[in-house]
Amino acid sequence: MNKKIAVVVGSIRTNSLSQRLADNLVGLLPEGYDAEFIKIDHLPLYNQDYETADSPEVYASFREDIKAADAVLFVTPEHNRTIPAALKNALDVGSRPYGQNVWSAKPALIVSQSPGLLSGFGANHHLRQILTFLNMPTVQQPEAYISQTHKLLNEEGKITNEDTLAFLQSVIDAFVQLIERY
């Protein structure tokens, strides 16, 4: 039976660097692993008042998409030294109502990226902190911080640098090993 990988991209901008990097990462998954991109840009800001019969339908469908996944690949930029608001909102929506955390026990991989030299380090570590609370076992090594992403992508959005591809493959391999343990 194939493993279903939910891919959550922290940037909601059209044709973002994070989306293009995620596209490349998905291409490195082995046979038997199916990736499904889960959109987060349509989720209303989390509000506990929504935890009633009037909860937005998009909350329920988002939660079902995450529940159906065997693992989650997060690819994110850094906004003001942390994760983007849309990603934090998605994490909140999936973790509520209290006691119904759909993220729990799902293996995770974090890949942060930036056109700058810091490669999303702050976002990566803030996301790790959140995932620990959400009870998501996360790939610890190798850590994946990708800097100057725009220089790695060709006109078709593909990464062609062999060293970068080898590194990203090692990250995906570690993710697959973690998934297989769960």
Q: pTM of the predicted model, to two decimals?
A: 0.97
pLDDT value at residue 143: 97
Average pLDDT over residues 152-156: 96
Q: State pLDDT tens for residues 45-80.
A: 999 988 877 789 999 999 999 999 999 999 999 999
Q: How confident is the model at residue 85 (pLDDT cuts 50, 70, 90)?
A: very high
Question: What's the average model confidence in pLDDT over 35-41?
Answer: 98
Structural domains of the chain, with CATH: 3-181 (3.40.50.360)
pLDDT reported for residue 118: 87
Mean pLDDT of 135-164: 96
Alpha carbons 124 and 77: distance in angstroms, whole number: 9
DSSP alpha helices (H): ranges in the chain? 17-26, 57-67, 85-95, 121-133, 149-152, 162-181
Report which DSSP code applies to 43. Answer: P
Q: Closest by alpha carbon to 62, among 45, 87, 75, 43?
A: 43
pLDDT tens across 169-182, in order?
999 999 999 999 99
Burial class (CB within 10 angstroms; exposed 0-12, middle 13-18, buried 19+) of 56: middle
Q: How far is Cα 48 from Cα 96, in angstroms, rounded to an integer?
A: 8
Q: What value does the mean pLDDT of the chain take?
A: 96
pLDDT in tens, 93-127: 999 999 999 999 999 999 999 999 988 999 999 99
Residue type, 50: Y
